[in-house]
Structure formats: structure tokens, C-alpha cells
Amino acid sequence: MGITTNMTYLKTALCATAGALMFAGAAMADPLASPAMTGPVLANPNPISVDAGPLGQVYVSGVVSGVAMAQSNPAFGDHKTQADISNGQVVIQTTEGPIQFYVQAGIYSLPSLGLGYMKSDKITDATFGAVPNAYVKIVPSDNVSVMIGKLPTLVGAEYTFTFQNMNIVRGLLWNQEPAVSQGVQFNFASGPISASVAWTDGYYSEKANWISGLLTYTVSPSDSVSVVAAASTSDNSHSSFATSPLLNNSEIYNLLYTHNSGGLTITPYLQYSRVSEDAGLGIPADSATFGAAVLGKYAFSDEFSLAARAEYIKSTGSVAKGTPNLLYGPGSKAWSLTVTPTYQKGVFFLRGEASYVQVLDSTPGFALGDSGTDKSQFRAIAEAGFVF
């Protein structure tokens, strides 16, 4: 594993890119809609385009990037300083016709606030594999589509991979959310309303027993409101690194608002999650979390922007009541602040980030640091790379 596995993943991604370049045709004028990117890192507006005959135009895009970081109070087995590959991914897709496809493959890291950092080779193997997203998309009309395969989640305000988000590291609320699910998703859009409903395996449990829905209303060209609901419909005892029995048997809800005006984007959102008592699964009591966050970015110019995030999350219950742990021990709380300046020139981007996490009312052994007793963590991280 380690460096050898990292280089194997990265070589695969780069070879696929080089092969596509050899047969590249005309490029499209606008960035591809997928993978979704909230900025400040912007997709290449001229991705590689290959004329694939009966398949039509096949587009090849991707990202290669690395991170270097320093942090206080690292988790057990983590390090105060380290460097890693954050993305070595290639995306191959079609965007026209009644049957389309999307394949995203390579290596990635999933840094998140308040959790230990796992190197990209290990996290790729332990979570969603070398092909984290892949699906067939059936488009019977302009208003309706159906996606079948490994799908990005409908839940939350932050995406799975570093290059997709305002900040390099995902936040405390993201830690409670699913990231990739396997199943089928139905999409509908008409005027100011868009809606999606999915039947999947939720937190990547490999048991299709989750239903999730997203409803978005575009109030104006600058403003939209979204409601998200997702829940397990039956018991699921599956446990793996990617998913725990608690999350597999939970429900989660979001209320999101997004405003875009000039160079400013701001997204405040609320989140509630709940796990119900289930003696058969060994869950002795109800447990829940409530969180609130504000994410924002401002573009000072075409090349420089600044993103920031503020969050608060709390969990219910107590150790005395036998409440399951969903945060840093039953009844614990945490807040975070993150600031991320970004520079992008063409396909090259460079980002720096400073973040701080404060834990309150934690249970010893479940908080931060190698012994789980520290109450705070500062992290500085830089990411540089290319989108193509």
C-alpha cells in the first residue's frame, strides 16, 4: 500500500488522460455540469472531447492535486504534519441523447474537520473504491431523467471531493451525511421547481432500503430554497469503515438557502438527524444531532477568491442514559470556523486553508487528540493542482 498504491492510482488516471488527448476532437464552450463544483475552483471550460461514433461526443475531464497539512492534537495514528495526493481522478461522460453515462475514477482523499486524516490510498480502498461515481442516465424528455448506479448523495450542502467545495476540508455537518449511494434516482424539473427522489443503500451499506428526496424552488435568478429528507425504511445491521449501523438506521433532514449575486455566494443551512431506539440492533436509546452552518465565498477577481464556513452542531442524550454516540460522546457539542483563500489561473489552482474546531461537553475517549480527551484542533492545509 502507501506510496506504491498512490502512484498506481495516479498513473492510471494520467494514462487515461493521455490516451484521451491523443484522440481529442473539438472542445465544448462551457464547463460540464458534472461533477458539480460550487467554486471557487472552477471546471475547465474546454474539456477534452472525443467523437465516439454511435456514442456521440464523449467528454474527458478530471483533476490532479495534492495537499500538505499541519494540525494540532492529531487523532491516534494520525500525524501533526503530512502530505498526500488529494485527487487523481478522471471523468468520462456523455451529455446528449436519450441514454448517457458518467464514470469518475481514480484516487482521492476525504479530509473532514474534527476527524483524523487517512491517506488517499487507504481511504479510497476503505470507502467507495477506485470508481466512486458511475451511472447510466436515461433522459426520456427535457424535464425527466433517471440515473442508475453509484450516485452522489442528495443530502447536505457540501460535495464529497475537495475540488468540488468552497473549502478544502469538509465540515462537521458533512460528517453526519451520506456521500455516495448505490441505487436509482428520478429527477424532474419544470420552471422554478426541480425535484429528485432516490432509492438507494444510503450510507453505502449495500442494502437498498433508503429513500431520499430533494425539492428546490428557485425564488429568483439569485435565490433558491431547498428541502432534503432521507431515511432508512428497514433495519440494517451492516457495518464497515464507510458506514456504521447507527447511520444505516438513521434519518436526516436539511433546509438550505442559497444566494448568488455578482461575486458573492452564501449558503446557510440547517440539519437534523436522528437514530431511533432498536433493541434488536443493539441501539438502547434514541439519539439525535442538530446543526447549523453558513458557507460563503466572494470572488475579488477572476483569479482570486475567499471562502469561509462557520458551523455549530450538538447531539442529544447522555452516557448515563445509554445514548448512542453520534458526535464526541452523547450530549456533546462542537463549533468550527474555516477560511480558504483560492487562486486559479487557467487550469491551475492553489488554495490555503485555516480551520479551528472546538468541542464542548465531550465524553473522555471520544473527543480529539490521540487519547480522545483534547477539546480543540487547529489545522492549516494547502492544496495545489490542475483541472482538465
Q: What confidence tier does 30 reach under pLDDT thresholds 50, 70, 90?
A: low
Of 308, 323, 305, 141, the C-alpha closest to 246 is 323
Of 202, 180, 206, the C-alpha closest to 249 is 202
| Amino acid 348: pLDDT | 98
| Amino acid 4: pLDDT | 40
For the cut 60, the answer to whether the pLDDT of residue 46 exceeds it is: yes
For the cut 80, the answer to whether the pLDDT of residue 24 exceeds it is: no
For the cut 60, the answer to whether the pLDDT of residue 5 exceeds it is: no
Tell me the percentage of the chain whose pLDDT exceeds 70.
92
Per-residue pLDDT reduced to its tens digit, 229-252 = 999 999 999 888 888 899 999 999
| Amino acid 6: pLDDT | 46
Alpha carbon dihedral 162, 170, 3, 73, in 10-degree steps, equals 150
**Range 101-134 burial, b when 16+ CB lie within 10 A, else e:** ebebbbbbbbbbbbbebbbbbebbbebbebebbb
| Amino acid 17: pLDDT | 42
Q: Which of 1-15, 205-219, 271-285 has the lowest mean pLDDT?
A: 1-15
Quote the Cα angle for 229-114-380, to 5°: 120
For the cut 70, the answer to whether the pLDDT of residue 368 exceeds it is: yes
Enter the pTM of the model: 0.90
Work out the number of other CB atoms within 10 angstroms of the CB of residue 79. Answer: 13
Is residue 178 within 8 A of residue 203, CB to CB? The reply is: yes
Distance, in Å, from the CA atom of 62 to the CA atom of 13, rounded to the nearest integer, reads 9
For the cut 60, the answer to whether the pLDDT of residue 122 exceeds it is: yes
For the cut 90, the answer to whether the pLDDT of residue 23 exceeds it is: no
Cis peptide before 40 (omega within 30 of 0): yes
In order of start, what are the domains of the chain with their CATH numbers? 2-387 (2.40.160.10)
Residues 6+ apart with CB under 8 A from 331: 315, 316, 317, 318, 319, 323, 361
Average pLDDT on 323-349 reads 98
Per-residue pLDDT reduced to its tens digit, 55-87 = 899 999 999 999 999 999 999 999 999 999 999
Tell me the percentage of the chain whose pLDDT exceeds 90.
86
Q: What confidence tier does 11 reach under pLDDT thresholds 50, 70, 90?
A: very low
Is residue 327 within 8 A of residue 358, CB to CB? The reply is: no
Widest CA span of the chain, in angstroms?
66
| Amino acid 111: pLDDT | 98
Average pLDDT on 339-348 reads 98
Residue 240 exposure: Cα atoms within 13 Å on the Cβ side: 14
Of 311, 263, 260, the C-alpha closest to 289 is 311
| Amino acid 33: pLDDT | 86
**Range 223-234 burial, b when 16+ CB lie within 10 A, else e:** ebebebbbbbee
Q: Average model confidence (pLDDT) for the chain? A: 92
Per-residue pLDDT reduced to its tens digit, 138-187 = 999 999 999 999 999 999 999 999 999 999 999 999 999 999 999 999 99
Distances (CA, A) of 314 to 110, 186, 223, 250, 351: 22, 33, 28, 16, 30
Q: What type of residue is 374?
A: D
